Amino acid sequence: MPSRRPEPGPTAAAVLADTLRTRILDGTLAPGEPLRQEELSSHHDVSRHTLRTALATLTAERLVVAEPYRGARVADLDDAALVALQQLRCALETEAVRLLHDAHGAAWPAAVLADVDRALDALEAAEHAGDWPGTARAHAGVHRALVDAAGSPRISEVCAGLDAELLLLLRGVRPHYGPGALAAEHRAYVDALRSGRVEAVREHLARSTALILEGRRQGGPQQ
């Protein structure tokens, strides 16, 4: 019996994109910081082609801005961009929840409940472990589980494309939540949605937007 070919690993460009993404999301690369190709390709020991491919990936995720004759820089999620992102998330998640209720009412399918419960448990575990990057990813996982429950591939696809920006946005809510508070808030949010309160989506996202904007006015973390 012929041996199976090994699965291909990630490309050099994908690995570099992961590295730069992590440095952007943890604040090592600050908003607005130039991303100079010669410096980065030398530091990471990659070709210019590999670097440009990695930067194109991050540009598509809106973590990097590329401008003709000015090069690339880390994106700055300013107040207007933050509000616009939250408005888009609200529109998509509201429609997803509406579709879910139209199909099932309050009797969500067992598979949906299991997926959402797993996402909530992961969020709670990451919070109690003091792992903020993991908490941010788990938070995104809760919202993704809710959107995916609608069974609309196009809505899920668009929401997945916002994941990187969402992680960037979540840096601004960290000071407002003690251990376990984010998971508790999202359990209450899911309970409100299951009771039929579709407007809870707008209320939930409006609260997080207000927290981030207030933190910025008080000199808190910037995106």
Asked if residue 118 and residue 68 are part of one domain, the reply reads no
Asked whether residue 59 is assigned to any structural domain, the reply reads: yes
Instruction: Identify whether residues 102 and 191 lie together within a single domain.
Output: yes
The domain containing residue 173 runs over which residues? 79-217
Residue 222 scores a pLDDT above 80: no
Query: Does an H or E element contain 72, and which?
Result: strand 71-74
87 lies in the same domain as 66: no
223: confidence class by pLDDT, cuts 50, 70, 90: very low
Are residue 49 and residue 118 in the same domain, yes or no?
Answer: no
Do 35 and 99 lie in one domain? The reply is no
Find the CATH number of the domain harbouring 70.
1.10.10.10
- Phi and psi at 72, nearest 5°, equal -105, 150
Give the global pTM: 0.82
Q: In this model, does residue 171 exceed pLDDT 80?
A: no
Q: Looking at the structure, do residues 136 and 195 belong to the same domain, yes or no? A: yes
Q: Is the pLDDT of residue 59 over 80?
A: yes
Claim to verify: residue 138 and residue 157 sit in the same structural domain: yes
Task: Answer with the residue of higher pLDDT: 98 or 212.
Answer: 98
- Which residue, 74, 96, 128, sits at the end of a domain? 74
- Looking at the predicted structure, is the pLDDT value of residue 17 above 50? yes
Query: Read out DSSP for 25-48?
Result: HTTSS-TT-EE-HHHHHHHHT--H
**What angle is formed at CA 137 by the lines to CA 221 and CA 90, rounded to 5 degrees?**
80
Residue 101's pLDDT band (cuts 50, 70, 90): very high
CA distance 47 to 34: 18
Alpha helices (H) in the chain, listed in sequence order: 12-25, 37-44, 48-60, 79-104, 110-128, 132-148, 153-160, 163-170, 181-194, 200-217
- For 141-153, what is each residue's pLDDT tens digit? 999 999 999 999 9
- The answer on 17 and 54 residing in a single domain is yes
Of 59, 74, 89, the position where a domain reaches its end is: 74
The answer to whether residues 111 and 46 belong to one domain is no
Q: Which residue has the higher pLDDT, 69 or 91?
A: 91
Band (220; pLDDT cuts 50, 70, 90)? low
Query: Residue 158 sits in a domain of what CATH number?
Result: 1.20.120.530
Average pLDDT over residues 151-156: 97
Q: Are residues 69 and 119 in the same domain?
A: no
74, 102, 119 - which closes a domain: 74
Structure token pair of residue 147? 């959107």
- For residue 114, is pLDDT > 80? yes
Domain tally, the chain = 2
**Residue whose C-alpha is closest to residue 186's, from 98, 161, 177:** 177
Give the percent of the chain with pLDDT over 70: 92
On the question of pLDDT at 218 being above 90, the answer is no
